[in-house]
Structure 1
Amino acid sequence: MPTLEGNTVFFHVQRLINEIVPDEPDPAAANALQEGLGGQFGEMRTMMQYLFQSFNFRGATAKPFRDLLYGVGTEEIGHVELIATTIARLVDGSPRYQGNPTHLDEPGEGGATPLSIALDGGNIHHWLVGAQGALPVDAQGDPWTGKYVYDSGNLPLNLLYNLMLESTGRLQKCRLYEMTANKTARSTIAYLIVRDQAHENAYAKALEKLGVEWNKLLPIPKTNAERFPEVATLLEQGLQSKQYTFNIDQLNEASKVYNGPSPSKDGTDLTTEQAPEGAPMEIAVERPEEFGPGLDSELMELIQATGEMENNTPPGQYGPTG
């Protein structure tokens, strides 16, 4: 997901922004995580809010602040991908899934109803509407709405609002962590807790650069998240003090803002990097009881024929990036 000059072109690298640890399915945890995806303080909201603030940004002299917003907003796209994939695995099962008496290993096994588990799940729409995948809704099933997005057009106001949003989001994720012991859920929740802190640091430092004494009005919440083992491991790696630019043309100036001692006062200094290494991405297995996705013999023949045609076509190439 790096960006080119003007920050208007996005690329997708087929790696998840963080590893998802395998564990058993947990539909209830999946439904709780929907709040972190499509809720008022979830990843869809942060993604859209920061990107729209970037798109609407005015003032060339303030470019480092715009670049910071772009970097955080682009990272949030990866967070949406991560948490949606986590929800899908919690509903559908992970690579570690060894079978469970309450879950059907085969559709209709022993004459049972293939989707009966949906009646006991956290959100029936995960099966009825989403084919055992994530949905753009909150934990109550209410659809995500663009009305959540805040962009006042005023830089200090936007940064203050963003700091409040990240603080509230991290608080919610700490509660989500305490709701489940599922390793799949906790691996993602812990990562997002730490990255929310990095974004809190980003907006707090940006406000400091503008001369705003934010800490007298809105201190970063003391969530004590470091007591969570997964979070402590990530904090030891300094992940709370890094910000990614996702920029490949070396024109990003976010480092002019994101530098110096961390506002978290944890003894670390803020640094910028191009992008995280990421983790391998897997594609979920077909679910015939959901009638998709799947390829019958005719579709397979069509795909093979199309593939042969594409192999005979000269590859396209994007223009110069430097």
Structure 2
Amino acid sequence: MFMNVQRLINEIVPDEPDPAAANALQEGLGGQFGEMRTMMQYLFQSFNFRGAAAKPYRDLLYGVGTEEISHVELIATTIARLTDGSPRYKGSAKKPLDEPGKGGATPLADAMSMGNIHHYLVGAQGALPVDAAGNPWSGSYVYNSGNLVLDLLYNLMLESTGRLQKCRIYEMTKNKTARSTVAYLIVRDQAHENAYAKALETLGVNWGKTLPIPKTDAERFPEVKKLLDQGLHLKQYTFSLDNLSEAGKIYRGSAPAASNGASLTTEQRPEGFPMDIAVERPEEFAPGLDPALLELVQATAELELAEADAPGSGAGTKRR
């Protein structure tokens, strides 16, 4: 059973809209090595897990898979921020991010030449379950062999490849919104690499010779270095509300491939950052609740309350 906290797992830094950067991020969301893949793969591996004696490994998969849900949310919200704003927008970094410039172009004109046209055509300036080429995400990406060592090896490769791709996306754009999210995911991918590498070590697998992790030198990215200095790559969240997770039996001790003797630790969950709901977009015919709809909602609610309070309804005593 999953619970949710209405906070983003990482802060999204505001910047100008950038549809091209949004499309690059689609690979990190719906691509073969993206966040939707990791979310579904780890959760299905944990759902299908067998063997009570190996519960710490199931709990590790459960914790990482649950975190990936928040990564899907983070990257999808980032894509929406990068496409947000009418293409009439002609402002600059010195003006409010949502202020259209005077003498703007035809509404939605940028959709014809920048990024992914489907972000505007069918997504109402929001994220889509596709890769950067527009191919739909596929459940066939999910690897779940039922063999613990094989699954862990595959997961380590998946995290390493995902981190490599995100480093490339980082170097494709200067946009602060895109980079703030990509940098965070680069560091968390490293934490997950540590999780699966450590799990393999406890099973006697010399993964360092079997599957060397690619060298990305990501610490040269300022946003990444800041998070590494905070030790974000050395902790794993359990997301266990009842604290029954045994993932800490695996995610502990010295970090794999660490040269400075750093240690791994587990926490229940991060504090998170405030979450805002995006504004309406009239040019997408997505206005939200306009005054007429709000009036209708209020009238309907009052009617339902009156019916509930009517004698013989049986509901009057249950109202709070």
Structure 2 counterpart SS, 1:179: coil
Q: 1:67 to 1:306 in 2, by over 3 A?
A: farther
User: Contact (CA 8 Å) 2:191, 2:232: kept in 1 or not?
Assistant: yes
- 1:59-106 residue CA offsets vs partner (Å, 9 max, x unmatched): 000000000000000000000000000011111149xx98259x9955
State the partner residue of 2:169.
Answer: 176
Relative to 1, partners in 2 of residues 1:274 and 1:104: Cα closer, same or farther, differing over 3 Å? closer
Q: From the superposition, tell whether residues 281 and 98 of structure 1 become closer, same or farther in structure 2 (CA, over 3 Å).
A: farther
1:91 correspondence with 2:92: no
In structure 2, give the amino acid aligned to 1:192.
L
Match of 2:66, SS?
Answer: helix
Query: Partner of 1:318 in structure 2?
Result: none
- Equivalent of 1:232 in 217, 222, 225: 225
- 68, 77, 80: which one aligns with 1:76: 68
* Distance (Å, rounded) in 2 between the aligned partners of 1:178 and 1:141: 21
**Structure 1 range deviating more: 294-303 or 9-18:** 294-303
Give me the whole-angstrom Cα distance separating, in 2, the residues matched to 1:16 and 1:104: 21
Cα separation, 2, equivalents of 1:305 and 1:155 = 56
Structure 2 vs 1, CA of residues 10 and 129 (structure 1 numbering), >3 Å: closer, same or farther? same
Aligned match for 2:205, one of 195, 212, 232: 212
Aligned with residue 243 of structure 1, among 236, 246, 250: 236
CA distance in 2, matches of 1:111, 1:242: 47
What one-letter code is carried by the residue in structure 1 that aligns with 2:249?
A: K
- Give the Cα–Cα distance (whole angstroms) in 1 for the partners of residues 98 and 251 of structure 2: 50
265-274 vs 38-47, which moves further: 265-274
Report SS of the residue matched to 1:50.
helix
The Cα of 1:314 is off from its aligned counterpart by: 5.3
More divergent stretch after superposition (234-243 vs 85-94): 85-94
Q: Find the partner of 2:147 among 150, 154, 176.
A: 154
2:259 corresponds to 1:303: no
1:141-165 residue CA offsets vs partner (Å, 9 max, x unmatched): 0000000000000000000000000
Are the counterparts in 1 of residues 153 and 196 from structure 2 also a CA contact under 8 Å? Answer: yes
Q: Using the TM superposition, give the Cα deviation of residue 302 of structure 1 relative to its aligned residue in structure 2, in angstroms.
A: 3.3
Distance across 1 between alignment mates of 2:231 and 2:300: 47
Q: Compared with structure 1, are the counterparts of its residues 197 and 79 closer, same or farther at alpha carbon in structure 2 (3 Å cutoff)?
A: same
Query: 2:108 is matched with which residue?
Result: 115
The CA distance in 2 between the partners of 1:299 and 1:150, in whole Å, is: 45
Structure 1 residues 210 and 307, CA gap change in structure 2 (3 angstroms)? farther
Question: 2: CA distance between counterparts of 1:11 and 1:293?
Answer: 29
Which amino acid in structure 2 is aligned with residue 21 of structure 1? V
2:35 partner amino acid: E
Looking at structure 1, the residues matched to 259 and 79 of structure 2 have their Cα atoms a distance apart, in angstroms, of 32
Q: CA deviation at 1:303?
A: 3.0
Q: 2:312: which partner in 1?
A: none
Structure 1's unaligned 5+ residue stretches are 1-8, 316-322
Distance across 2 between alignment mates of 1:300 and 1:281? 23
Cα distance in 2 for partners of 1:15, 1:87 equals: 17
1:264-279 pair list within 5 angstroms: 264-267=257-260, 268-279=262-273
Q: Distance in 2 between matches of 1:167 and 1:200?
A: 7
Q: Which runs of 5+ in 2 are unaligned?
A: 306-315
Residue identity matched to 2:106: T
Taking structure 1 as reference, are residues 177 and 307 closer, same or farther at Cα in structure 2, changes over 3 Å only? Answer: farther
Corresponding residue for 2:276? 282
Report the number of matched residues: 303
- Higher Cα Rg, which structure: 2
* Equivalent AA in structure 2 for residue 284 of structure 1: A
Q: 1:272 to 1:290 in 2, by over 3 A?
A: same
TM-score (norm 2): 0.89
Provide the alpha-carbon RMSD of the alignment. 2.4
| Structure-1 separation of matches of 2:242 and 2:229 | 30
| TM-fit CA distance, 1:305 | 4.5
Q: Distance in 1 between matches of 2:85 and 2:258?
A: 40
Q: Which amino acid aligns with 1:303?
A: V
CA distance in 2, matches of 1:17, 1:105: 28
TM-score normalized by the length of structure 1: 0.89
The answer as to whether partners of 1:150 and 1:158 remain within 8 angstroms in 2 is yes
Identity among equivalent positions (%) equals: 76
